[in-house]
Amino acid sequence: MTDNLNGDSILTGNGHRNTRKRRAVIKALSESGKPVTAEEIYLSLINSGDSVCISTVYRTLDFLFSENIIKKMRFNDNESACYEINRNEHSHKLVCRGCRKTISLDVCPLSEFEDKLKKETLFNITGHNLEIFGYCPDCNSESSLI
């Protein structure tokens, strides 16, 4: 699959060009297992010896986003946008408020609920944010000692 991402398939066709920079951006995105900012991608490319400028990173990200190859998201507060390869799985995370350890959930408890909502509200529902938080066993016993 990494092969698939680095390969030509995505970048060619429709007049798009398969350039070294674009390949590098995709590589950076797929190698970091978590959502990353444009800045982080930029720095990672610089560190790997690929010279790029930040606007090229942004332009590439816009391109990949418009091609639906990556997802774009923001984590509630201020922060800059984060990008992540769009593996079309849909998953949520359980996050520990203490140590930030996260557990990926293999089920989405909302799918049927959204279907019901769609019918009730006539909204065209495009997505949701769901984050469940608490304390993992370790942090929980720790906090109860305080």
Q: By the criterion CB under 7 A, which residues form the site for DNA?
A: 8, 11-12, 15-22, 37-39, 51-56, 58-60, 62-63, 78, 80-81
Q: Does 128 bind a copy of itself (CB under 8 A)?
A: yes
Write down the residue that tokens 């997505």 correspond to. Answer: 127
Return d(Cα 32, Cα 96) in angstroms, integer: 21
Q: Which of residues 102-121 bind a copy of itself (CB under 8 A)?
A: 103, 105, 109-110, 113-114, 117, 121
Q: Is 99 in the site for a copy of itself (CB under 8 A)?
A: no
Interface with a copy of itself, residue 142, by CB under 8 A: no
Which does residue 18 bind out of DNA, a copy of itself, none, counting CB within 5 to 8 angstroms by kind? Answer: DNA
